[in-house]
Structure 1
Amino acid sequence: MDAVVHVTLESFDAATHDRLAADPVRNTMALTSLDRIRRSPATEEPPVLITFHDHGEVVGSLVRTPPWSYQAADLPLTAVELAVEVAAKIDPDAPGVIGPRDRSEAFAKATGRSYRGSLATRQYRLGTLTPPTIAGTSRMATEDDVELLGAWREAFLNEAVPEAPAAPATKAMRTSVRLGHGHALWVIDGTPVAWAVASLPQAGMTRIGPVYTPPEHRRHGYGAAVSAIATQWALDQGATEVLLFADLTNPTSNSIYQRIGYEPLDDWAEFWWKH
């Protein structure tokens, strides 16, 4: 098996676009993160892009969009040792790896480094949307809301993934809104109380997340309501697969998503290297 390190996104796209698009559920992270870079290159660090070839055929890939972890969803277990070897040479500063548990854990173990589990999640796919009946109204966020969205994104990451690398949250939210992603807000008496994001469809797939409700507004059903709004927005954009990830340590969110129509698919995990 051979590995090819791609120095341009165009080269990587030529080798992998059809492969990734053929399984948009498994490759959700790569499809959305690479689309963001493709449409807003000036705001992003250059990605790390590796493909794996067996007798001339592409059999897998590994993606990292700094400062985040490697995405191992398209990494075959047979290529793990080679992937670790190449990644160590070209990208020693990578903080970790994320993907379906079997692949991400195999990658983490193969590094020989000390690591810790950061986030264990369950991937869900929408069946039939069943919006809840909750007090309040909804609206889609605009650029006037980016300061609020930035603060909420930072709060979400601090709570859910405290190990996440520091990143300018407000800048990221302004870019996301300008790119046309759906930022839904649930509003009570004119005040936003919950937020959910839906990515623009890629190969028919949209992913919901983050979903965030500030602590003072929790336990009223606002998270479920705003998730349903973001989901409907995605369907209106033509999505045929709507996905989300829920923290396995939070049984409340897992039950909420199932009540509005999401069905469990697979377990994912993220591992960070210990320093």
Structure 2
Amino acid sequence: MIARATGDPAAYRDLVFPFLQRDPVLNTSLLTNVADRVGGIMNDPEPPVFVSVHDGGEVVGAAIATALRGVLLAGLPVELVAPVVDVLAEAAPRAQGVDGTADAAQRFAEEYGVRTGRPYREIERSRLHKLEEYVEQTADGTPRLATEADMDVLVPQFGAFRAEVGHATVGAAADRMWVRQRIERQRFWVWEDGGRVVSFVGHQAPVFGTARVGPVCTPPEYRGHGYASALTATVTRRLGESGYQVCLFTDLANPTSNKIYATIGYRPVGDFVGYAFS
């Protein structure tokens, strides 16, 4: 096995997407990340590193390292971790963390930590779900696509959400760009009740017939009214009606969100673990 790196997202897409499309749900984080970079709506402070693993002339694995998300292994098998570490220990020695299936993420953290001299710690466990049988949810108020007029409300809500879930701080200007780019592409929804935006839900660009819902957030002062559940259900239904297979990630430390998504009709596909490097 040998791993190779590139900084060209379009070339990487052409190289690895035929392999990744074999399981577009399991590989959703890689597929959407690369697709957005090709589409010009990802803005990192440093260039990403795109890694492909080859067995002879065939692509058998993929991973990426980005400044804001760290290393994404998606469904990379544990036996392919070593060649990825070989590349990224040199090409991305300051990665903030790694996320992947339990065995692969742990193996990467151990080997990369040794190679770079950096200790690591577990920071999150998440679960990938796929919609199986849709169940409508209701709440007071109505859903609608977000518009430019919502920016002054959504940007601080989104920034607070990033801080709450532990994502890297990028500043209000970057948050504003992120929200605007999704609004322009009609990938950001809000729930409105009494003239107030009380919840928001985004979704990623569909890739190979699969669309991933997220982020999902209700500001603390509006929680407990079913807004996020109803809005997630609405976005899920619309994506399903467009012919897409719908999936999402949940934080296993948050039993409320896991219960909500199960009620909508999502069922587990697999678990992932995230580690942070010091």
Per the normalisation by structure 1, the TM-score is: 0.92
Secondary structure of 2:79's match?
Answer: helix
1:88 and 2:93 equivalent?
Answer: no
C-alpha separation in 2, matches of 1:177 and 1:190: 19
Secondary structure of 1:169's match?
Answer: helix
Aligned to 1:268: 272
CA RMSD of aligned residues (A): 1.7
C-alpha separation in 2, matches of 1:165 and 1:43: 13
* Closer, same or farther: CA 213–203 of 1 in aligned 2, 3 Å: same
1:58 and 2:63 equivalent?
Answer: no
Offset at residue 43 of structure 1 (A) = 4.2
Letter of the structure 1 residue corresponding to residue 239 of structure 2? A
Offset at residue 10 of structure 1 (A) = 3.0
1:141 and 2:154 equivalent?
Answer: no
* Closer, same or farther: CA 124–103 of 1 in aligned 2, 3 Å: same
C-alpha separation in 2, matches of 1:141 and 1:216: 20
Offset at residue 159 of structure 1 (A) = 1.2
C-alpha separation in 2, matches of 1:17 and 1:50: 12
Aligned to 1:259: 263
C-alpha separation in 2, matches of 1:3 and 1:52: 4
1:91-170 matched pairs, under 5 angstroms: 91-111=92-112, 112=114, 113-161=118-166, 164-167=167-170, 168-170=174-176
Aligned to 2:178: 172
C-alpha separation in 1, matches of 2:42 and 2:76: 28
Aligned to 2:34: 34
Letter of the structure 1 residue corresponding to residue 262 of structure 2? Q
1:229-268 matched pairs, under 5 angstroms: 229-239=234-244, 241-268=245-272
C-alpha separation in 1, matches of 2:77 and 2:142: 45
* Closer, same or farther: CA 120–166 of 1 in aligned 2, 3 Å: same
* Closer, same or farther: CA 252–41 of 1 in aligned 2, 3 Å: closer
Where in structure 1 are there 5+ consecutive unaligned residues?
none
* Closer, same or farther: CA 151–236 of 1 in aligned 2, 3 Å: farther
C-alpha separation in 2, matches of 1:267 and 1:55: 30
Percent identical among aligned pairs is: 34
Per the normalisation by structure 2, the TM-score is: 0.91
Offset at residue 64 of structure 1 (A) = 2.3
Q: Any conservation in 2 of the 1:77–1:106 contact (CA below 8 Å)?
A: yes
Where in structure 2 are there 5+ consecutive unaligned residues?
none
Letter of the structure 1 residue corresponding to residue 260 of structure 2? I
Letter of the structure 2 residue corresponding to residue 271 of structure 1? Y
Offset at residue 73 of structure 1 (A) = 1.5
Residues 222-271 of structure 1, C-alpha deviation per residue, up to 9 Å, x if partnerless?
110111111123224331x2111111111111111101111112111111
Q: Any conservation in 2 of the 1:198–1:233 contact (CA below 8 Å)?
A: no
C-alpha separation in 1, matches of 2:79 and 2:68: 26
Q: Any conservation in 2 of the 1:127–1:261 contact (CA below 8 Å)?
A: yes
Residues 94-118 of structure 1, C-alpha deviation per residue, up to 9 Å, x if partnerless?
1111122222122112222311122
C-alpha separation in 2, matches of 1:7 and 1:117: 28
C-alpha separation in 1, matches of 2:262 and 2:269: 12
Letter of the structure 1 residue corresponding to residue 169 of structure 2? A
Offset at residue 181 of structure 1 (A) = 4.3
C-alpha separation in 1, matches of 2:139 and 2:268: 24
